[in-house]
Chains A and B, each alone.
Chain A
Amino acid sequence: MSEFDKLKIVTRYELLKQLRRKRFYGGLAITVLAVVLTIGLYQGLDLPRHMRIPDQLINQYGAEIFAIFVTSMGALAVLAAVFFAGDAIAGEFEGKTGYILFPNPVKRITIVVGKYLACFIATAAIILVAYLISAGALLVFYGQVPSGIVGSLAIALVLACFMISMAFAFSSVLKGSMGATIATLLTYMVVFSVISMSLSYAGYNPWFMPDRAGDSMTATYGIPFENVFGGMMGGGRMTSGVMQASQDPTLGFFVLLAWAVVLFNVSVWVAKRREMI
């Protein structure tokens, strides 16, 4: 049997494992709730007017502005990836399931790749549900789905890849699953944000930071950000770092992909050498 056949087996059973867990359905429920609430609040409270977006721009980019709001909520589903991936490697050691899985004629790299694919498929399923609801709402309220939603979805998916890779890297190094999950969330939400913010204030463009690259999923709709959202900031300007990172979704996509590939390789390298003590 080839390693590819074994990879298919590992992926299938790892996916079954993910689908049997409450956290998958919890992540799905929270994401759907967040998207539906955003749709309801946006429409019910007429948010664009409260955000001081000029009428002319609302008329011109109504569907795109709405899409930015609802798909940003849907992309929150990438956080679910951290909960799927945090225990992927560490859990085998911590929970002692590795004593059954590892003494089999299958390469450690095949196990890690299979786990990665299963985590990605589970996360992608939740992201797709969120985007489908968003697309449905766009059709209902605006009679159209902006083409930029495809780019936004692509960046959400590659952001999920990045999050899974980072969680895998921590999971391969740390002893416990909880530690790996918390470390991933803190790194993304606090450490990277602080670095990006500091670089922005110092006048550097943090285009290479994954959090800023992730922000570019809102820039796929081709609307003039500064004009549309300038009013939100009071002074008529957004933080320069956000503006710069939001300008090029293609760059954001490849930045996230590069981070995902590097971190995934780190996790494979460590997992291959980790001993079952």
Chain B
Amino acid sequence: MRDAILIKGLSKYYNGFLALDNLSLKVRENENVALLGPNGAGKTTTLKLLCGLLHPSSGAAYINGTNVMEERERAISNVGAILETPEFYPFFTPDEALSYLGKLRGMRERELGHRIREVLKLVGLQKWANIRIEKFSRGMKQRLALAQALLHDPPILILDEPSLGLDPRGMVEIRDILKEARKKKTILFASHLLTEITQICRKVAIIDHGKLRFYDNISQLKKKYRSLERAYLRLTEGAI
């Protein structure tokens, strides 16, 4: 199996502050990996670098063998992403927002219409397809963010806390969608929710202060530390 995501010695400074310190990580095709770490550990920075939203201070990242820093558009065409707490243009409806993004991703008009209905149904927004997004709650926008990430059926999903802002029902529904998606896709996602991580991913990468502290199967981690929670607390000791 080839590497869907390959991170080689990636470092990132923000005005002299080292947010990511020589991080290296491999995610193979169809693997599901959780990025776990305290606030400010470097999880979001890693995902943003992978999507080409930041320029690394050193190192490189590859998606399906394509260097993100050198051929960003080609690399990113294989990815569906949710980063931070995304916002949509408030004057658009979900139908228009997804049409815009689908067309930019090269989807044809006929398949796009069908696919938009499909993903909106999947995230439970089919009745809201033609309502302006300015009327949406945080949770509804998060559902729409997942819909846009899945829209072009990308082989790789990069998700930053995908269930943020959702009510308990929404969290369960999103988790079910990701459980289904993991059968055919590579997923790299950052989360603070340990139960979510154990339900969706087989592997976990724990990072702290920009450094990789542990990267292996969750079962191995549990064997060593007895639980994911204990492992997290031990491996991120002293973190604020």
Footprint of B on A, CB under 8 Å? 1, 6, 9-10, 13, 16-17, 20-21, 95-107, 273, 275-277
Contacts and interface: CB of A to CB of B under 8 A. Distances in A.
B48 A17 contact: no
Contacts of A277: 14, 54
Interface of B: 14, 48, 51-55, 73-74, 76-77, 79, 81-89, 91-92, 96-97, 100-101, 103-106, 145, 148
Contacts of B96: 13, 16
B74 A105 contact: yes
A97 B52 contact: no
A103 B88 contact: no
Contact of B104 (A10, A96, A97, A276): A10
Query: Lowest 7 CB-CB distances: which A-B pairs, in order?
Result: A20-B91, A276-B53, A105-B77, A99-B86, A103-B51, A105-B73, A96-B87
Nearest to B50: A103
A103 B106 contact: no
A103 B87 contact: no
B54 A276 contact: yes
Nearest to B19: A277
Contacts of A107: 73
19 contacts: A9-B100, A16-B92, A20-B92, A96-B87, A98-B53, A99-B82, A99-B84, A99-B85, A99-B86, A100-B87, A100-B97, A101-B101, A103-B52, A104-B76, A104-B101, A104-B105, A105-B106, A276-B48, A276-B53
Contacts of A105: 73-74, 76-77, 104-106
A6 B107 CA distance: 11
Contacts of B52: 102-103
A100 B74 contact: no
B88 to A, nearest CB: 6
Contacts of A99: 53, 82-87
A244 B161 CA distance: 62
Given A17-B91, A104-B105, A96 B148 contact: no
Contacts of B55: 273, 275
A96 B86 contact: yes
B86 A104 contact: no
A97 B145 CA distance: 11
A199 B54 CA distance: 44
A21 B134 CA distance: 12
B73 A100 contact: no
Contacts of A100: 86-88, 97, 101, 145, 148
B103 A9 contact: yes
Scoring B14, B51, B53 by chain A CB atoms within 10 A of each residue's CB, the highest score goes to B53
Contact of A97 (B81, B82, B88, B105): B88
Contacts of A275: 53-55
Nearest to B103: A9
Contacts of B51: 102-103
A192 B132 CA distance: 41
A6 B84 contact: no
Nearest to A1: B106
A13 B103 CA distance: 11
B173 to A, nearest CB: 21
B53 A102 contact: yes
B76 A103 contact: yes
A130 to B, nearest CB: 25
Contacts of B54: 275-277
A9 B96 CA distance: 12
B81 A103 contact: yes
B104 A104 contact: yes
Contacts of A104: 76, 101, 104-105
A157 B98 CA distance: 33
Contacts of B104: 6, 9-10, 104-106
Contacts of A13: 92, 96, 100
A103 B53 contact: yes
A7 to B, nearest CB: 11
